[in-house]
Structure 1
């Protein structure tokens, strides 16, 4: 299905941070010919050693040792949000490119430092989410670009959950500065909206929270409470440069939403877009005058993708070209979210200063490793 991506060489990756999210990256690295995992590090050496014991050819190192390693081309930064900028800056200072979990940094001020340091050092910055490169968002984007719904007018993006403390054994950082539903889950939704509708020029936001503490529901700390220092329900309107208006709702306070995660409404139809926290899913269209929703065939994006495909995409990006899941987009998304929270505090609209280019679309693509599996 589709073309294949083969960079012709490996990107040698070292991971800093061996928490819960690493399992998804490791599973995908095993099937990505473009990525060679060589080292891991964590403040808890036993967690790094556990990964090394389970992944052939991988060394467990100290953070300092990994940064100094000559066989690490790119550092995958899977630390908590508050540490994203510090780790990224140290990796850049060591001459490494960086790909980080979202958000790019806890604040735009820190994020600017990361991008400027990378520019001076001549290294590349990439950032999650790479979910926007999957077949779900990319098929929806192609439908918009092909004019299937006419000129986009508006969008709604909704994420409702009672809170990650119900399943995460160490949820503290979700409720500290740099966390909250907007900075935690918002990157998936705002990145998708920018991919679908283009950059944002201004925002209006409102926010609240219902509880001052949360009770951990699983793991060895079950029953322990953690304080809430951020707003846990955020909503607002994003004004895109195209003129389209997106309404965003991110909540750790409510229970569930029945509506699709993202809907795009145009002059000649509407699109139901799958969960932007996933890489695939059905895209549906309701054309003007139709009687019901219609499923669209998969037509764009990386097939059967998952976390880490953004690194393979970065590796295949020509030198001097901004990666699709790149630092400029991540910075723009972070500024949008930070500005929503600022607007919530002041009650006034906030103008967005950055203007990230809408990332290039992804053709329907099967990665080289998968092509080999199919042909064997």
Structure 2
């Protein structure tokens, strides 16, 4: 039977590239005990378990059959997220799932309905938005430091993950691409700031119909591109404000992690939403006209980042502590489903070349306090 106090038992399903980031952090959080690692390739699970001192490795049953495991961390490929999440819920486990929560709205709804039926919780990545970078920015905006938020600009562009990933085909399949792979970081950040999305518009293109693996044992192999590899996006928010975003894996120029939020009294620049923290600044309006070649002098205020920087697994930790305390967690399955709905609406807009209304909505989006310390023993 699951414990009601003390560290929570966690099992990880999926021992691929990103498992290192989760295991590095979850094995260091005092409120978490990683008890098992599972993968379709048993040797991979065994290697990761040995590397991080996890006592058990094996197939999915090694995780789902252990009564001491309360939480499943689902870091399988996107197309497998829903099946693994539903199976884990049926086994009586709370679920933390990597993004996206599914590849269709119907799948996300099934997960939410199953969790509600069984009295279990679902959390959804990205949890980067719970790091001190975005959370400090939220507090800055709530204080009114940039006045009323008006609009945001975000940029993610580069030549693509095939230059480093040993098996990148899934990143160009349905459920992947720059929008579904990287979009969750940027859209989640914008929803934390502006609230739920009301409508979107987008244009998309496909740079090339195939890509070639450049690293690892599959180097030289070609694979198909099934999704738009470049999208320009407009977003409108229910409570006011708008954003424009670029997502591209067709650009030789590397520009990523750009999130700028402009309000009536300044522009807030916040850290890369694929990280947990970094520099935060506010650029104030010009006080007089500068005529070239006279240099522009403009006030830029450095904002102190508040909180402890950790890494992936932070959202699961918040969920575990919240369950024990009987309060809502921040990165909910509902939040993940709204982000997915927004991303799918962007895809549909690019296909139809028209505005698309986002059908789902959210209540107030929670926050983590500056005193949230992942390295403290609290359970």
Task: Give the TM-score range, shorter chain.
Answer: over 0.9
Cα separation, 2, equivalents of 1:196 and 1:257 = 25
Residue aligning to 2:211: 214
**Contact persistence 2:126–2:184 (CA under 8 A):** yes
**Deviation of the 1:317 alpha carbon:** 1.4
Is it true that 1:182 corresponds to 2:188 in the alignment? no
Tell me how far apart the structure 1 counterparts of residues 231 and 374 of structure 2 sit (CA, whole Å): 41
Q: Show the counterpart of 1:293.
A: 300
Q: Which residue of 2 aligns with 1:315?
A: 320
- Per the alignment, residue 343 of structure 2 pairs with 337
Q: Superposition RMSD on alpha carbons, in Å?
A: 1.8
Does residue 1:360 correspond to 2:360, yes or no? no
1:362 match: secondary structure: coil
CA distance in structure 1 between the aligned counterparts of 2:161 and 2:255, rounded to whole angstroms: 19
Separation (CA, whole Å) in 2 of partners of 1:244 and 1:79? 35
Distance 1:197 1:224, change over 3 A: same
Q: Is residue 170 of structure 1 aligned with residue 167 of structure 2?
A: yes
After superposition, the C-alpha distances for 1:73-107 in whole angstroms (9 at most, x for unaligned) are 11100100000001001001111110011000111
Deviation at 1:258, TM superposition (A): 4.9
SS in 2 for 1:137: helix
Partner of 1:241: 238
Which blocks of at least 5 consecutive residues in structure 2 are unaligned?
288-297
Q: Which runs of 4+ in 1 moved over 6 A?
A: none
1:226 is displaced (CA, Å) by 1.1
1:232-284 deviation line (CA, Å, top 9, x unaligned): 11121111112100112111111235586110011111111110000000011
Gaps of 5+ in 1: 1-6
Question: What is the number of residues matched between the two proteins?
Answer: 364
Moved more, 71-80 or 251-260: 251-260
In 2, Cα distance between the equivalents of 1:260 and 1:19? 24
Where does residue 112 of structure 1 map in the other structure?
109
Q: What are the superposed Cα offsets for residues 199-252 of structure 1, whole Å, 9 maximum, x if unpaired?
A: 111111111111011111111111111111111111211111121001121111
In the TM superposition, residue 358 of structure 1 has moved relative to its aligned partner by 3.8
**Offset at residue 338 of structure 1 (A):** 0.2
Change (3 A) 1:148 1:259: farther
Counterpart of 2:38 in structure 1 is 41
Secondary structure of the corresponding residue to residue 31 of structure 1: coil
Structure 2 CA distance, aligned partners of 1:219 and 1:57?
A: 27
Query: Normalising by the residue count of structure 2, what TM-score does the alignment of the two structures yield?
Result: 0.92
| Aligned equivalent of 1:66, options 50, 63, 67 | 63
For normalisation by structure 1, the TM-score amounts to 0.93
Residues 66, 72 of structure 1: 8 Å contact kept = yes
* Structure 1 partner of 2:352: 346
